[in-house]
Amino acid sequence: MFFVTPAYAEEAPAAATGTDAHAAPAAGEVHTETGVAEGEHARGPFPPFDSTTYASQLLWLVITFGVFYLLMQKVIAPRIGAILDQRHTRLSQDLEEAGRLKAEADAAVQTYEGELAAARAKSNAIGAAARDAAKLKAEEDRRAVEASLSEKIKAAEVRIADIKAKAFADVGTIAEETAAAVVDQLIGGTAAKADVAAAVAAAKKEA
């Protein structure tokens, strides 16, 4: 801010003839360069509060405000607007990137959950198939063992029947021989084989 300071006194007239114009001024004279009387300071009002300088102060205030307004409008405001736009664009890009990453993460989670569910279902199916196969194999083995045992039992029954038939045949022969010996001991004679066989057969029937 520039202020115009009026001079408080005009330049003193030159000294009388015979006196040097550059000689020291007399007491009470005003120095033309500073506007302050020699030997004392000026006693005028403070320049910003001097009513005689209001017009110039208002002029410089308007000029300064205009320059500041133009500076704000042409330089500072565009730069601030560009910075705000850049930050807004960066923020929007960051939000879009975050949304995209979130969507990708959600899709990955859904894919993982789907694969996990499919793996569980497959493992359950494999386990059920294994259990069914094991049950079927056990049932087949059981049937095979039962069939083998049945055949062995039948063979044993046939063998037992043969042994019984043979034993009964031998018992009949032994009984006939024993009966013939008993008759021989009791009556002292030999009985006919046909009679002894008939008697043994009758005894078997009664038994």
pLDDT in the model for residue 172: 65
Q: What is the DSSP letter of 22?
A: T
The per-residue pLDDT for range 81-140, each reduced to its tens digit, is 899 999 999 999 999 999 999 999 999 999 999 999 999 999 999 999 999 999 888 988
d(CA 53, CA 60): 11
Residue 169 or residue 57, greater confidence? 57
pLDDT at 163 over 70: yes
d(CA 176, CA 204): 12
> What percent of the chain stands above pLDDT 90?
32
Which pTM does this prediction carry? 0.35
Residue 29 DSSP SS3: coil
Mean local confidence (pLDDT), 36-41: 47
Contact assessment for residue 59 and residue 47, using Cβ atoms and an 8 Å cutoff:
no
Contact assessment for residue 196 and residue 179, using Cβ atoms and an 8 Å cutoff:
yes
Q: Which of 48-52, 113-117, 170-174, 187-191 is predicted with the least confidence, judged by mean pLDDT? A: 187-191
The per-residue pLDDT for range 13-32, each reduced to its tens digit, is 433 344 444 444 444 454 44
pLDDT in the model for residue 94: 94
Residue 167 or residue 130, greater confidence? 130
pLDDT in the model for residue 204: 62
Residue 118 DSSP SS3: helix
Mean local confidence (pLDDT), 5-9: 41
